[in-house]
Structure 1
């Protein structure tokens, strides 16, 4: 899916793959190598930024080209994905539940003024 999305975006940009690789400072044939292998997280971020789309769009996880997230939210999403990438589905479900529980606790702490008085 990634390579197909990149081909679509390259075509719409009216640039060649080689031209885009030069602009991004990538070695020749880097993008075409994504037919067979996945890029690093850094490269995914660079490509998403270059084409002004989300990483999820590049990977085919969504049809929405751009997420309306803040930089901090994007950092959290990246951290979540890195931590969860080698987990089984069951482990991911447990991980997600524990994160949701932790967010509730954090919000309760935030709303308790006694935690913020000096």
Structure 2
């Protein structure tokens, strides 16, 4: 799926894999390796930025081509951090992690109105 997306985006941009590798400072044939290997989180983010698409689009998690600009910078950073933390987890650990993060977000939202927390 990922490799096919790369091919489509490269064609749309009118660039060869060799040119993309050069533009991104990647080793020769790096793009072809994605036929069988997964990119690192940093590489995935760099490729998404290069093509101006979301990481979800590259991974086939969203069918629509949405540009990364659909998210604020803070949202993009949080999503990137979230994905990097989950990267080496088993599916069961990811489910638990997701639940813990959702709980943390609820807790953080509840604390917004407690001015004593934010005063130094």
- Length-normalised TM-score, structure 2: 0.84
Runs of 5+ in structure 1 lacking a partner?
Answer: none
Alpha carbons of structure 1 residues 6 and 104: separation in structure 2 relative to 1, 3 Å: same
Question: SS at the partner of 1:28?
Answer: coil
Query: Moved runs in structure 1, 4+ residues, more than 4 A?
Result: none
Taking structure 1 as the reference length, the TM-score comes to 0.86
Q: Could you tell me which of 77, 81, 84 is aligned with 1:82?
A: 84
Point out the structure with max Rg over C-alpha. 1
- The Cα RMSD (Å) is 1.8
- Helix, strand or coil for the counterpart of 2:34? helix
User: What residue is the counterpart of 1:20 in the other structure?
Assistant: 20
Aligned length: 118
Q: How does 1:24-103 map to 2 (within 5 A)?
A: 24-65=24-65, 66-67=67-68, 68-103=70-105
